[in-house]
């Protein structure tokens, strides 16, 4: 499209438009401080920090300390801190914060407080949100990659397309976010045959049906699965870097994880940010298969153990494990 080429040319000559940053936080002031310190070299000019409220009295001190850190961003910027009086939970608090940010801005870079950003992350996100603004196939930009180099078909390319976005550090646009459907209507209406055709694998289809069931019944407190399934209803993709732009610490330190993951955190590495290296990303089938098999546990054994997994989540919800 001519409009897309015009955008590429503009960004190449003028540099990317700095993206507004939305940080989501809770009761962990040390993690927010660590994230802000990693963002300081990029010094985003617009920052919004959304802090969920305490679940109980024991959270109150941590939430208050987090608010103090948020109000002391270590660079000059247009800053607002949004605080809740009570806890809404991830599935409500994060999408409401994203919606609020996108009422104010046309696009946003969303970062969880479990993250530290690498030296290219902010430029990468700002540039990507410019470059793919007019490409209506793209609904989100991820800054995180979980697929090792030796499982990529095109490891020398800077980015690829994927059906699944990262929820840890990502960006989107106001018009794309309007498709967010907390009820995951499209997915719920698909038969197993439809989903098998969509994924190209019956096992992957069964596994994502299990994810859908756990989210829709409240066993998993997730907005991210809801957003991913919303984008599938639009036949959309995410742009994913072939090297991580951020480091995610949530599995080791998070409050919403209950088991160890099966892959190692990949090192943050540089990618080629020149525009001509970004222009024509495509789906990497090998990377998609790895992601579903390893990161989403889309294997026969995991599907068969799905009922045990659901039971464990119920026990965790009740505080019994």
Instruction: Write out pLDDT tens, residues 19-55.
Output: 999 999 999 999 999 999 999 999 999 999 999 999 9
11-25, 140-154, 272-286: segment of lowest average pLDDT: 11-25
Sort strands 138-142 and 21-25 into parallel, antiparallel or unpaired: unpaired
Sort strands 138-142 and 237-241 into parallel, antiparallel or unpaired: parallel
Rounded Cα distance between 59 and 86, Å, is 10
Using the structure block, give the residue that is written with the tokens 């247009």: 78
> In whole numbers, what is the pLDDT of the chain averaged over residues?
89
Could you tell me if residue 302 is inside a domain?
no
Could you tell me if residue 157 is inside a domain?
yes
pLDDT at residue 115 tops 50: yes
Per residue in 234-272, pLDDT (tens digit) is 999 999 999 999 999 876 554 444 445 556 789 999 999
Could you tell me if residue 208 is inside a domain?
no
Could you tell me if residue 295 is inside a domain?
no
Q: pLDDT grade, residue 109 (50/70/90)?
A: very high
Could you tell me if residue 221 is inside a domain?
no
What is the CATH number for 61? Answer: 3.90.550.10
pLDDT at 262: 57
pLDDT at 315: 58
Could you tell me if residue 214 is inside a domain?
no
Q: pLDDT grade, residue 320 (50/70/90)?
A: low
Could you tell me if residue 319 is inside a domain?
no
Rounded Cα distance between 287 and 147, Å, is 6
Rounded Cα distance between 246 and 145, Å, is 9
pLDDT at residue 5 tops 60: no
Per residue in 164-176, pLDDT (tens digit) is 988 999 999 999 9
Q: pLDDT grade, residue 302 (50/70/90)?
A: confident
CB 115 within 8 A of CB 22: no
Could you tell me if residue 205 is inside a domain?
no
Q: Give how far Cα 152 sits from Cα of 113, 232, 276, Å.
A: 28, 22, 20
Rounded Cα distance between 194 and 206, Å, is 11
Report which of 239, 276, 277, 14 is spatially closest to residue 128, judged by C-alpha positions. Answer: 239
Rounded Cα distance between 149 and 145, Å, is 10
Q: pLDDT grade, residue 11 (50/70/90)?
A: very low
pLDDT at residue 92 tops 50: yes
Counting residues of the chain whose pLDDT is more than 70, the rounded percentage is 87
Per residue in 203-219, pLDDT (tens digit) is 999 999 999 999 999 88
Using the structure block, give the residue that is written with the tokens 């119920």: 314
Task: Quote the number of domains for the chain.
Answer: 1
Burial of 172 (0-12, 13-18, 19+ CB in 10 A): buried
Element (H, E) at 161: strand 159-162
Counting residues of the chain whose pLDDT is more than 90, the rounded percentage is 76
The parent domain of residue 59 ranges over 2-181+236-284
Q: pTM score > 0.95 for this model? A: no
Report which of 246, 291, 295 is spatially closest to residue 141, judged by C-alpha positions. Answer: 246
pLDDT at residue 102 tops 50: yes
Report which of 202, 198, 222, 200 is spatially closest to residue 211, judged by C-alpha positions. Answer: 222
């Amino acid at each position: 499209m001519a409009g897309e080429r015009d955008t590429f040319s503009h960004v190449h000559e003028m540099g990317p438009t700095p993206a507004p940053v939305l940080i989501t936080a809770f009761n962990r002031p040390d993690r927010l401080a660590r994230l802000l310190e990693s963002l300081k070299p990029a010094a985003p000019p617009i920052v919004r920090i959304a802090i969920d409220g305490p679940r109980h009295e024991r959270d109150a001190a941590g939430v208050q300390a987090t608010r103090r850190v948020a109000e002391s961003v270590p660079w000059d910027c247009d800053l607002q801190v949004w605080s809740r009086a009570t806890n809404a939970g991830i599935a409500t608090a994060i999408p409401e914060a994203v919606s609020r940010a996108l009422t104010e801005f046309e696009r946003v870079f969303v970062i969880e407080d479990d993250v530290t950003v690498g030296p290219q992350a902010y430029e990468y996100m700002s540039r990507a949100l410019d470059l793919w603004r007019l490409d209506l196939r793209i609904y989100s930009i991820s800054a995180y990659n979980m697929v090792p180099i030796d499982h990529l078909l095109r490891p020398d390319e800077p980015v690829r397309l994927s059906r699944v976005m990262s929820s840890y550090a990502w960006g989107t646009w106001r018009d794309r976010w309007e498709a967010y459907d907390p009820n995951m209507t499209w997915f719920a209406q698909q038969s197993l045959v439809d989903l098998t055709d969509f994924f190209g694998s019956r096992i992957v289809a069964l596994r994502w049906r299990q994810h859908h069931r756990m989210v829709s019944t409240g066993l998993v407190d997730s907005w991210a699965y809801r957003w991913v399934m919303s984008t599938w209803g639009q036949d959309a993709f995410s742009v994913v870097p072939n090297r991580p732009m951020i480091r995610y610490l949530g599995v080791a330190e998070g409050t919403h994880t209950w088991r160890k993951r099966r892959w190692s955190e990949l090192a943050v590495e540089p990618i080629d940010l020149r525009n001509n290296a970004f222009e024509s990303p495509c789906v990497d089938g090998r990377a998609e298969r790895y992601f579903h098999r390893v990161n989403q546990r889309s294997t026969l054994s995991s599907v068969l153990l799905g009922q045990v997994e659901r039971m464990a989540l119920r026990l965790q919800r009740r505080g019994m494990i």
